[in-house]
Amino acid sequence: MSKPSLSQYPITELKGVGPKMAERLLKLGISTVQDMLFHLPLRYEDRTRIYTISELTPHSHVTVQATIETSQITFGKRRMLVCQINDGTGRLTLRFFNFTAAQKNAFSAGKIIRCFGEIRRGRVGFEMNHPEYSISDTFEQQPTS
């Protein structure tokens, strides 16, 4: 005897889901266990897909992996750390307004950076302000799905 699929299990079969909760979930379009598994949060961010710099569009939240070309501290109204990165398809500027000496030292030319943030149009192309990032010495492969 085969087990029924998740699309056939009503949401009320789950522990803790009574009639009132089932009614609230139904308003969200969730009536089966499968619906619950595939329900994504309002502000879901896919950080697994790595975009090339040439694919970027303003106001999008993306992950980019590239090589650090330059890193310098600039002084204007505010002191900031400015990094130029390149992935072979274009250049992107990363700006950090609050940074430490350890961050400045980590952004050395030739290292690989994977960063996530919002793309904005700057004076000289696209920019990311205060992206989340990780630095390594080698390119990480994009996960296949």
Query: What is the bridge-based pairing of β-strands 61-75 and 132-136?
Result: unpaired
Encode pLDDT of 91-138 as tens digits.
Answer: 999 999 988 889 899 999 999 999 999 999 988 899 999 999 999 877
Cα–Cα dist 14/6, whole Å: 12
Encode pLDDT of 69-82 as tens digits.
Answer: 999 999 888 889 99
Count: domains in the chain: 2
In this prediction the pTM is 0.70
- pLDDT for 144 equals 46
Q: Are residues 75 and 127 in the same domain?
A: yes
> What pLDDT band is residue 67 in, cutting at 50, 70 and 90?
very high
Work out the average pLDDT over 41-59.
Answer: 89
Q: Are residues 64 and 25 in the same domain?
A: no
CATH of the domain at 71: 2.40.50.140
The residue ranges of DSSP E strands in 24-131, in sequence order, are: 50-51, 61-75, 79-86, 91-96, 112-122, 125-129
Q: Quick check: is 1 in a domain?
A: no
Q: Are residues 69 and 16 in the same domain?
A: no
- Name the residue range of residue 104's domain: 50-136
Q: Are residues 73 and 24 in the same domain?
A: no
Separation of first and last alpha carbons in the chain: 31
Q: Has residue 55 got a pLDDT over 90?
A: yes
Q: Are residues 131 and 96 in the same domain?
A: yes
Q: Are residues 56 and 32 in the same domain?
A: no
Q: Quick check: is 109 in a domain?
A: yes
Q: Quick check: is 87 in a domain?
A: yes
